[in-house]
Structure 1
Amino acid sequence: MFANRYLAAAGLALSLSTILPGEAQAHRRWLLPSATILAGEEETVTVDAAASNALFVFEHRPMGLDDLTVTGPDGPVEPDVIGSGAYRSVFDVPLKAQGTYRIALASDGMMGSYMIDGERRRWRGSRAEMASGIPAGATDVRISESASRTETFVTLGAPDEAALAPTGKGIEMVPITHPNDLVAGEPARMKFLADGKPAAGLKIEFVEGGTRYRDDPGIQELATDAQGIVELTASEPGYYYLETSNQGSNVEGGEAARKRMSYTAVLEFLPL
């Protein structure tokens, strides 16, 4: 089949060894909420979206918000986008229902180029659009597939898990310890999936914020076990950053295609 030929081409184009966190992208991407645990009938959380070297400092560029989604305890929530400046984007999230909210910038798709009639042309779209998007007579097809997710979590009132269900796309963190029930000095367990399956041996960087003022950035280098589970321990209360990425594979119609997946999150650990 036409689609299968180009899925195979995607595998050749991306036949790289596993990419470790930070190798492919020097700047860390993050969503930083003004608070993670709130009380009352209704509240609002302001979130900064940025990419930077130091955590959590506005010194590189803002994150785009085209792929912003907010999932609340009773379904999708419409954020109030304030705008983007030179170093950060800002938006408000109205919390009107009791429970946990998952705030994410998530994207996935395919892009590449091909030769036809002596010219190189570019293509971008979804996996489903690839067969019709690249002409049958195309040669020298180069395709890459990617899925990225940057997220954080906030809770109004008592935490719940309604918004935490995985989507089955890319790398995702499925909390075993609730992400808004984290305490410094106590281990927290998280499970990671890659396209819906346990991500064993996934390399993870876990870093406390405030790296600008430390000679040693204090990066904890961790790895998931055979079930995709990792244990996080924060020695001090505060906001922490988590990052991981790898090369995965998708199989469709008997052909395998390589896929670049990345995940980052900001978690707050509270004092005892």
Structure 2
Amino acid sequence: MMFKKHALVAATLALAALSAQAHDLWFKPSSTVLSKSDWVTIDAAVSNDVFFFNHRPLGLENVKVTGPDGEAVEMKNAHKGELRSVFDFKPEKPGTYRVTMLMNGVMGGYKDANGQPKRVRGSAEEIVKQIPADAKEVRITENVRRMETFVSVGKPSALAVSGKGLEMKAVTHPNDLVASEEATFEFQLDGKPAAELEVELVADGIRYRDGVDAIKLRTDANGVLKVKFPRAGLFWLSADAKDSKTTVAKATERRLGYVATLEVLP
């Protein structure tokens, strides 16, 4: 029971950071392509700058690693420091491993009897309890977010999509990205093409250049995005969407997000 409570708190905090867009959440893998089984270390943080530890660690309660067969892979040596969290895992079998964090929660706001704005967060049940009967201008928003990165041993294997929320379907495999070649991804919203979706790419090394230099792209009518990465290295990919297809009672808006860390080879 206590673990579930901690997991809910961690997910709520992560959603707050994502929704406010004041900070970025990310995974940073030590390796994404392996010729044979070996250890991989994942750094995870919430920061002011992508891939730079300068704010706080990411909670690992909702992080999972799954193998090519969809089975869970044990996370070892998990540690939460002052500025980052870290854990290891060892992919034993050939194929692609997925590191995923799913974040689902509810946020809301209202004005009290005196006209003062109030904010509320938590589960759908907790949100309803926090809003008084005389509240005005009540707004409840459902948040559905996914963050992931990928590690392949030997030949990459196929990556399935769940058909829920905002997802990236790999046309070009995320562990087969090369700076000199165009990559193709398909973005889906609840299993359907996410047309005209704005996607942002940020390269590692923000600390050592004058600006973020974000690359902003947009999917076509079929949710397809073609990218030619400007150089090799790690890239942070982010996309957001919103609609009214909520699954939470009294929620009028659904906000969805997708974040991935990709490694582009020379």
Bigger CA drift: 138-147 or 185-194?
138-147
Report the counterpart of residue 254 of structure 2 in structure 1.
Answer: 259
| Long gaps (5+) in structure 2 | 1-17, 112-117
Report the counterpart of residue 29 of structure 1 in structure 2.
Answer: 25
8 Å Cα contact 1:209-1:241 kept in structure 2: yes
Report the counterpart of residue 83 of structure 2 in structure 1.
Answer: 87
Do structure 1's residue 156 and structure 2's residue 153 form an aligned pair?
A: yes
Alignment of 1:145-224 (within 5 A): 145-161=142-158, 164-224=159-219
8 Å Cα contact 2:142-2:251 kept in structure 1: no
Structure with greater strand percent: 1
Matched AA of 2:156 = P
What is the CA-CA distance between 1:187 and the residue it aligns to?
1.0
Report the counterpart of residue 97 of structure 2 in structure 1.
Answer: 101
What is the CA-CA distance between 1:113 and the residue it aligns to?
7.2
Report the counterpart of residue 8 of structure 1 in structure 2.
Answer: none
Runs (4 or more) in structure 1 with deviation over 3 Å come to: 111-115, 120-124, 137-142
Pair 1:55–1:252, CA change in 2 (3 A): closer
8 Å Cα contact 1:36-1:153 kept in structure 2: yes
SS in 1 for 2:90: strand
> RMSD of the alignment, in Å?
3.2
Deviations 1:79-110 (A, max 9, x none): 12521111100011220121001101111133
SS in 2 for 1:212: helix
Pair 1:86–1:201, CA change in 2 (3 A): same
CA distance, structure 1, for counterparts of residue 119 and residue 57 of structure 2: 30
Matched AA of 1:58 = F
Pair 1:23–1:251, CA change in 2 (3 A): closer
Matched AA of 1:24 = A
Do structure 1's residue 76 and structure 2's residue 77 form an aligned pair?
A: no
What is the CA-CA distance between 1:65 and the residue it aligns to?
0.8
Of structures 1 and 2, the one scoring higher in RCO (CA 8 A, sep 6+) is: 1
Number of aligned residues:
243
8 Å Cα contact 2:246-2:253 kept in structure 1: no
Pair 1:78–1:198, CA change in 2 (3 A): same
Matched AA of 2:236 = Y
Deviations 1:211-265 (A, max 9, x none): 1111143211101111111112112111111111121231669x98411111111
CA distance, structure 2, for counterparts of residue 143 and residue 251 of structure 1: 10
8 Å Cα contact 1:250-1:256 kept in structure 2: no
TM-score under structure 1 normalisation?
Answer: 0.78
SS in 1 for 2:20: coil
What is the CA-CA distance between 1:54 and the residue it aligns to?
2.7
8 Å Cα contact 2:140-2:252 kept in structure 1: no
8 Å Cα contact 1:147-1:169 kept in structure 2: no
TM-score under structure 2 normalisation?
Answer: 0.80
Do structure 1's residue 269 and structure 2's residue 248 form an aligned pair?
A: no
Matched AA of 1:124 = G
SS in 2 for 1:102: strand
Report the counterpart of residue 123 of structure 2 in structure 1.
Answer: 125
CA distance, structure 2, for counterparts of residue 200 and residue 160 of structure 1: 26
| Long gaps (5+) in structure 1 | 1-21
